[in-house]
A and B are shown apart, each in its own frame.
Chain A
Amino acid sequence: MNLAEGVQSVSLIILSAMLIAAALGVVLLSNIVYSAFLLGGVFVCISGIYILLNADFVAAAQILIYVGAINVLILFAIMLVNKTEDFKSIPRRWIRNGSTALVCLGLFALLSTMVLITPWQISTTSPAVIDNTMVALGKHFFSDFLLPFELASILLLIAMIGAIVLARRDFIPDISVKSSELTSTALTLPERPRELTNTGK
């Protein structure tokens, strides 16, 4: 990055404030659609932080994959299970929420003290030593990270097939088909989709 130091600091502070506010909105808002759109805001803020960290390729990949794929997938899932149900209230739920908040604050305190007291070995070379991060990433992918790179493609294939198998509607075989009909309709599938369940109220 060829920006001045002050510009970087100001944009980092603005991005961090937006990031934390949007993340709190994702967790705390009651309407799930607002949460999904704020999640997209979180991803865009993180992409800006990556640009500040001299990683242009990963910032573009973050926008493409997270905002373009995962967030749209989550919105589709929200629309597919769009049932505004009012959850049954559970007794002493505030104790659970409060204890969870306490544990999270304690975890944050632990992590921040660890971060602040550890003497990090800051590298003295300039962070912008690599001109083109895409070339460097490609060299890593095809030399010393070749096996994880190929395994990632297999993982994506497995995930795709698994998602299709899991989300497919069940098929119930039609048992009342006579043998004479079976020969006449030999080219059609010997199964039919289950009746749509009435999910409306």
Chain B
Amino acid sequence: MAMQLQFYLLLSAALFCIGIFGLVTSRNAVRVLMSIELLLNAVNINLMGFSNFLDPGAIKGQVFTVFVITVAAAEAAVGLAIILAIYRNRQTIDMEQFNLLKW
């Protein structure tokens, strides 16, 4: 039973690294948002593992997970709206051509 917490933490670390790889290398803007969702889910697995193994009496990790899910929903809605607005102006969703904020 003592090994299980480490297993969950390693799983979430692997998911986090996959998400960062997708976040940096993908060129489709929608795929970048999917990678951000992967990152948030990795953090959620971490919180749930800590909540179950280190603090089973007061499940505060689950409370934090619910808040993270809420913020992720808001982030997805606003992010997809921003992508739609940029697509309407630029006619592309290639991340390499989004140089609006480039100095």
Complex alpha-carbon distance, A167 and B73, angstroms: 16
Further 16 A-B residue pairs, CB within 8 A, beyond A85-B92, A159-B78, A163-B77: A20-B15, A23-B18, A42-B38, A54-B52, A78-B30, A83-B92, A87-B27, A105-B17, A112-B10, A115-B9, A120-B54, A122-B54, A130-B59, A155-B71, A164-B81, A167-B85
Assembled-state Cα–Cα distance A64/B78 (Å): 19
Across the interface, B15 reaches (CB within 8 A) one of A19, A83, A115, namely A19
Query: Is the Cβ of B14 less than 8 Å from the Cβ of A108?
Result: yes
Q: What B residues does A87 contact at CB under 8 A?
A: 27, 94, 96
Distance A87 CA – B95 CA, assembled complex (angstroms): 10
Please report whether the interface of chain A is mostly helix, strand, loop or mixed according to DSSP. Answer: helix
Q: A residues within 8 Å of B by Cβ? A: 12, 16, 19-20, 23-24, 26-27, 32, 35-36, 39, 42-43, 46, 49-50, 53-55, 57-58, 61-62, 65-66, 69-70, 73-74, 76-78, 80-81, 83, 85, 87-88, 90, 96-97, 100-101, 103-105, 107-108, 111-112, 115-116, 120-123, 125-130, 133, 136-137, 140-141, 145, 148, 152, 155-156, 158-160, 162-164, 166-167, 169, 197, 199
A77-B80, A123-B56, A133-B62 known; A19-B21 Cβ under 8 A = no
B100 at the interface (CB under 8 A from A): no
Query: Is the CB–CB distance between B38 and A23 below 8 Å?
Result: yes
User: Which residues 50-88 in B have Cβ within 8 Å of A in the complex?
Assistant: 51-60, 62-63, 65-67, 69-78, 80-85, 87-88
Interface contact B13-A111, CB-CB below 8 Å? yes
Given contacts A35-B34, A57-B62, A108-B14, contact A81 B93 (CB under 8 A): yes
Contacts of A125 in B (CB 8 A): 56-57
Binding site for A on B (CB under 8 A): 1-2, 4-11, 13-22, 24-28, 30-31, 33-35, 37-38, 41, 44-45, 48-49, 51-60, 62-63, 65-67, 69-78, 80-85, 87-88, 91-94, 96
Contact A55:B52 (CB < 8 A) given known A27-B22, A107-B20, A152-B70: yes
- Bound-complex Cα distance A81 to B91 (A): 9
Query: Please, which residues of chain B bring their CB within 8 A of the CB of A46?
Result: 41, 44-45
